[in-house]
Structures are given as structure tokens and as C-alpha cells.
Structure 1
């Protein structure tokens, strides 16, 4: 059973060592037994609980101890096979049964060392907290994610991963004025295959650390979808859409909004890579992927959306710089994208930039033959090769051929650097990025050629 779902716990004390007079062990130094909960040590209110202790083959008796009680809580003879001793704790879990337990076993040589302590926790005593992921539960390998456990009461938060080894403890929750709740944050990352899965969080009062709330709603770290080599490609090229699933999934499925994306209709494939191409206009669109585990219907939540953009559907526009492509530092430059066809969307892209292309949508129902993008005040960050495209808003995934490349050069140097050198002290300044400095100045109406 899953401890986060309140399964019945069974604790066990295990070992397979047998005594040899030549081994050097003395009474009191026998190997530790092991104490474990077969169904988990996090137990829902009212559920039964039983503990197991298993020693060596020479064990004659197992004794169960609990913190705060000097004498053994119970004694039991080991059962064959496996030399396990069964300790039924309760038929109805309550706060009385919480705390640390450990066991020892008796042999003709004396008592063993105590087992590692095991903590029994009760859940279901308070309302459930909330659990959210920032910036998103969609996390690529190597990325970072914060899981926030929120409650209207102060306390300590505990995060459990389904099938994980144990709870992840956080510091005391802090009040978030923006959210209006007490929040505790768990930082995960860089994310790898060990982080993927389903999480729940609990709240506990500081004075009663082993008495927890109901579990939050489950939150699953979702797969992510990426395009190799890029999501913008020309007609006839090929690309690979890769579904990243942590931990590794058994099957992968790729969907588009216009298709049937309900999980029960996903067939999937064993490979995370989906090859598209040679591409045509039918490949343009928004894609998501799913990861599957443990059967045909155990699909994950959908990944982040990924837009595949196909260029080459319309004639290429022209791109010109006004007054010219060589611009003094701090000046403004206008990039004019002109089309021979009626368009209502224009796009400007700088090669090598990780940012998406800048979009200009012609306002209202108008269509245009050209649009102006204004860059500036320019800095060294604006240097580079630019291309523009035209598109129709009715199908934003299909673009024209790219314009011929336009190289923008920035001459001179940063005036702030020159002044700081003259006066011997730096002047604080802020350089706007190309995205921050990009503005649309105007769009000119289109009229059909005569």
C-alpha cells in the first residue's frame, strides 16, 4: 500500500547473521535487527497498524520499545520462516500510537543492538493544505522547481513522494501576504530521474510533530517536450520532437489539439523521439506529449505546449534598415518588413537569439503590405543578423519564406564606459535588451497591385 494514501503499516525487524565463536562478536554486539513498515509508517486516522521485528536465526525473542516508556512495550517469539516477530499495535490508529519505535532480539549470547528507530505518523487530524509548483510542474532534466505547501494555519510542512523513501521536511512555514496563507517551500533540482513522480504534502503543529493533516491533492511533475534542432523549420526539412519524462516512462504519446487527446485513446510508442518530416503545412501546429507507465491507461498529465512553425508557405518579404544597417551606439533604427502579399501578422527574428520572434499583429481587420519594427536605443546586444516573415492570424503556424538576411552593426562604444574611464569611477547604467527596446512604429495598408 501507499503510505501517502493511508495503507496498513507492518513493521519488520530483519537480519540473516548467525553466530560463530571465531567471528569476534561478543554478547551485546550482535548485529542490529531491522524495523520496517511493509505498508508504510504514515497511517491514516482509524486504520489498523501492526509492527514486525526480525532478528537472526539464533533469536529466541523480539522485544518492541517505544520512546518515553522504559520497559519493553511488547515481547513476541519469532515466527518461522524468517524469524519475524509480529506486534499488532492497534486496530484503530490514533495520536496515542505515534512516535518512535525500535526493537531488539534475545539470543543465548544476550541482547542485540537496537534497530534503527522508526517513526509512526498519524494523518487526517487537520484540513488538507494545498500543493503547487513554481514555475510549473513541467520540468526538463537539469531544471529546478519549487513545491509550495500552503495552509491557513502556521506549522511545519512535510512533503511525501509516492513510493519514496520518506518525507522531506521543511522549515517552519512563513506567511505569504500575496497568497494570504502560510507557505513552506521545497526546492527540487537540478531535476533528474529520481525527482519525477507524484507528490503530496501535509501540515503538522509544531508541538505535535507526529500528528499530520489530511494529504493535499496530488501533484505530478509532468513531462516536457522539446524540438531538435529547432521548432522553426522550412518546408521539406525534418525535426525530432522529444518527450522528456522523469523517471523514464514505458511509452510516449504525441498529440495535437485538433486530434483526440483523451488518455484512453493514446496508443503511444516505446521511444521518446517523434520524427516529423519532410514537413509540409499540415505539420504546423501546437503539440503536447504524454508519458505512460504501468499499463495502457496510466498516462501522465500533458507536457508543456510546443509550437511547430513551418516557413516557406508564402513568398518571402523584404527587410530594410532605415536610415541604414550601421547604427551609432544609443541611436534608433527602423527595420521595414515589406510583403508582396496581404498579411496581418509580421515577425522579426535575430539569428542565434534564444528569444522567440517578435510578433506584430496589424490592428483590427486591416491587412498590410509592410510593417516597421523600431530598435533602440541600440547597444552591442542589438548586433546580429535579422530576418522577417509574414503570416496570417487565421493560421499562425504557417509563415512565409524568410527575408534575405540583414546585418545590423552598432558603431562606437558605450558612453557610460568612456565617462567612467575619464572620471575614475563607474557610472551606473542599464542597457535595454533587444526585446525590451523593440517597438512597432506603424503598419502601412495593403492595396492590390494594378
Structure 2
């Protein structure tokens, strides 16, 4: 649709010599263009000149040319004629007049016609500040701008009265851009406010650029707000598709999608037939697509109220943070738990999301801590009805809908009251590097799943149970060849019927990794072997390096190593293990390790072994002596018994004689 030029061009825009037309005495004709005075490059236009009296000749004049541009002569008197331009060029643009000749003389020239050609220069950009959505009764500010140095911009209304406005350009906010600001309104819901703009130069005021993209202002009305949601979700990884669905009423003719802070029309859907719902598709999610959206629908009664806002988020733009539970992902039923989301990148905020279930989320500002940025989330109380599988993301304030990659998923384990299983290892708890580590969780209860927990670790591996024998349920957790990361304290849990509530924890099992500290302690026996049975035995473990704990291990022992705190003495660390009275059970081969509080499950190199020998000879001497003593005591008792018997017998004989 072509705009009227009533107010399109400022006075004095034409250049070059004016046409000297001898003023006639006959009435001036009327000059107009079809389909309009604003014509696309290469299109056809007809200039019509009409008058009331019969004429034999008509002249078309173009300003800047001293002779008639075109002349038509008629065999019979005419009162109208047409001058055709089959393919509009920039040379055809300009200001035109027409006049006619008859036997009565010459007419006055017509009013000027501004004939404009568009599409010669690159199109400018038309936007609404701050948004194309304008409340009823308010005035809108429209900005027409371009990197081409246009001298003027023209804003045209595409519907209704087709008003137009012209402004001189000014330097824009963007480097190298020129622009003009147009204020239109006040706007009302009953009118369709659709605009385009063009740019031109002073030396060719009728040679315009291509038109800008159409901009339509949306004036929210009083109809109920639309329903608005995203599928499959409002949080989308990059390059994945997402659909925004907007639902209005049965007589909806048009839907409009608005992105907050976006100064041009984002998207719209129209249909000749009414449609109660539409879908705005984003085939490949990008950072530019993230933002806050609202949708509107239009019926014959006007536009609706805005929908509730929808936050559309793109993930994966930054590297993922880490998510961990403090101190462990195991939490007792009904208690709260602290989760830490952390990253070395300076995120302003972290968001914690629940996967599945209610899909709840929590947001916190980040805190700087020892080179890391982190947020501590307290969630709970933990109850079985929630899934409690969580992830976290980081983002910046300036792009609140542009998130990092998600952290690895963290699943909380809810520890309940059912009987605890047992956790054991078929190897020694002191695991030599390279040796395979398998931990076995077992119970006589019918648990169908077992989970293994390591203090300080975020993952909770789970295995289905098996029955190696009747009444015993167990799962084997193969952790692979022993390495530094395997050191730690482990517990296991069981559950039945895939419940979200697990058993009470097993007793802890410590896995120790030797050879991780450079120190090598020494071990000595006091008194020096061989040790006599019954003597008090002490083993002394010492290190020249500062150590916090010493561990004493006996070859073949099923029990955990003995632990003692270090006691600094004579510029070295040591611990004295008192084994008590020597006996045959203490015989064996011993060695010791040292560890530090910062890494309690990583041990030093082992000390040299010490063989503890207990002398069996002394044991036999004591046995013989004890037998001799017991024999003598028996003889004494027999003798005493005989003497007592004789004494009683003698007394009885004396009494009988006296009675006689």
C-alpha cells in the first residue's frame, strides 16, 4: 500500500531549475498516479491528467527539465489522458505538473505530483522503543536508523489514513549509524498501527531506499490473557528445537509473540480461519533466542491482555559447574541438606534445579571463596515423595536466560530406619596400588538394590542385588585397580521395592592407599625379641617427617589397623602401640604407616617389617612348675585328711571307754 504524500516531503526538497510555465487562463487540470505516487524500482506507474474542457494537447512537465517531458496530441478533443512509465527508475522520480491546450487557450499548471521510486538504497531498520507493545492511550517512540548516511528518514503508516512523517537524520547511538525518532499516538486498541520507514538523500529527495520491515504496534485490550507454555521444556540445550504454544479463544484470528527488550516484532501467526491455538517454533535454540516472552491473541473484538511471562533458557553456553553435597549425598529422612554449586568462572548467580517430580528450582547469588565462585543451597526437609535428583547451572546478570552446561546430576540418598547391611572387602583394607578393589554389600533382608556411598563423593553407584545362597542378598561394587582416588570411608545402603527410602547405613569401611606420601617410618619392638611370655610388648613407629597419625598392621589380620595419634618427640613424630602381655596370639609380622590429617586415607611408604617372637620354653617351665605345685598341694591335702580321720577315731574310742 502506498502512502499519501500530503505531508511526506518538506518544502524546498526539489533541486535544479524550476519549470517556467506560462500562466494560462483555463482552469488547472488534476494530476495523479496509479497505483500511487510511491513506486518500487522496476514497477509500472501511470500518471493521469484530467480537465473539464475538451483539449487538443496535453503536456507532462518534470521539474528540472526546461521542456515538456512528454506531450500527447489528440485528433478529437479529450478531457483526460495517461502517461505510462513501464519500468520505474531513479531517473523517473521527481516532481511533475501537467497542463493542456485547447482552442480557448492554455490552462494553468496542475498542482505538483511527487513521484517517488523506492528500493534504490539499502533498507533501514525500524524499531519501537522500548517495545512494540504499547498500552492504550500512550505515545510510542519509533526509531528509523541505518548505517548508510541518509539525510532524511520518512515514516509511513501502512493502514488507515496512511499518514506519513519526515525527519532529518541525526547521529545514532551505534557507531556509524544515523537515525530519526518519530513519536506517534496516542494509540488505541481499535486501530491497527502498522508502519514502515525509508531513507533518502537531500540531492535526490524522491529516490528512497527499500522499505524497512513492517512494524506493528500491539495495543493490549481487555480480553482474557492467553495460556502460554513451552514444549518439551523452557530450559533447552543449544541447537535443540523448542515450541512455544499460545492458546486463545475459538474466534482468534491472530497471535503475536513478544520478546521482552526486543524493539521489533518477534513473531506473529495469522489465519483466514479462526484458530484457538498456535505454535511458534524455534528449530535450533541459540543464545539470541533466550529471554522472557509473552503472547497475545486478537479477535474481532481486539487484542487480549498479555499472557504470563515465560522464561526461555538456553543452556550449555559456558562450562559446567560442580555440584556436591556437604558432607555427603546421604541424608536422614526429614532432615535438611546443604548442596554446593561451584565454578572457577565468575558467575553472578547459580540456580539449582530438581530433575523430574515438581521440577522445583532455587537461585542464589554467588560468593567468592579461595579462587572459586560458589553458592550453598539448603534444601529440605527431605521426604520420600520427591525424586531428589538435582543439577545446577551458573549464569551472568546481564544474560539471565543464558546458562552454563548443567553440572553432573547429584542424587540424594534418603537413609531410613530399616536394618543396616554389612560392607566388607575380600582384600585387605590397605590396598596396594594396582590391585583390584571390590566392595561387597550384603544383608539377610530382601533388599533388591544396594547403593555405595563414599564420604566427600557426589556419586552413589547402585547395583541390583543377587542371591549367592538362600537368605543372603548382596551386590558387588567393582572399583577397578587401586589408585589414589579410591582412598576414603565407605558405607552402603539397601532398599526394597524400588522405594525412595533406603536402609540405615552400614558400619563404615576405610580403604587406605599406601605409598602416597614420600615419608617412610621405622618400627621397633620393646623389649627386643624374642619376648618372654607375659612380658608387656610395645611397638614404636617413628618418622623424621611431621606426621599426624600412625597405623600398625599385622600380616594376615582381619581387623582394621590400629590407629594412634602422633606424639612429637626429639624433632620427630612417633606413636607407641602397647600390645599388653606377650602371648602366642601376638606372634607375627608387623609394619606401620604414617598419614596426615589433610589426607587421612593416603598413607606413607610401609616401614620395614618386624617379626614378633614369643618364647615358648618359658611357657612350658611355668606349666611344669604349676603341675608340681598342684601335685604337692594334693599330697598335703591327703595327709591332712588322714590325720583328721585318725584324730576323730581316737576321740570316739576314748568316749566309749569312759561310758563303760
Give the TM-score taking structure 2 as reference length.
0.34
Structure number with bigger Rg: 2
Determine which structure has greater relative contact order: mean sequence separation of CA pairs < 8 Å that are 6+ residues apart, divided by chain length. Answer: 1
Which of the two has greater strand per residue?
2
Give the TM-score taking structure 1 as reference length.
0.48
